[in-house]
Amino acid sequence: MGSVRLRAAELDLRIGDKEYWDRGYATDTARVICRYGFAEMRLHRIRLTVVAENTAAIRVYD
């Protein structure tokens, strides 16, 4: 049996300027990055970590 290559990446999004929060930029960016990662880069997994108190990020990643 040949070796299997795990094709994985880690995603971390940050919008530092609060003026740009809650405008859908992170949601749109996450969708585009994941679509590109799976379709073009042929990734098997995209992993992320979220701080439990960051409810806005949890909504994006859910």
Residue range 12-36, pLDDT digits in tens: 888 889 999 899 999 999 999 999 9
- Full domain range(s) for residue 52: 8-61
Contact, 3 vs 41, CB < 8 A? Answer: no
pLDDT higher than threshold 90 for residue 9: yes
In whole angstroms, give the CA distance from residue 57 to residue 32.
16
Judge whether 2 lies within some domain.
no
Judge whether 38 lies within some domain.
yes
Distances (CA, A) of 13 to 2, 6, 25, 40, 59: 35, 23, 10, 20, 13
pLDDT higher than threshold 70 for residue 2: no
Name the nearest CA neighbour of 14 among 25, 2, 3: 25
Judge whether 3 lies within some domain.
no
Judge whether 1 lies within some domain.
no
Q: What pLDDT score does 1 carry?
A: 55
Amino acid sitting at position 20: Y
Domain count, the chain: 1
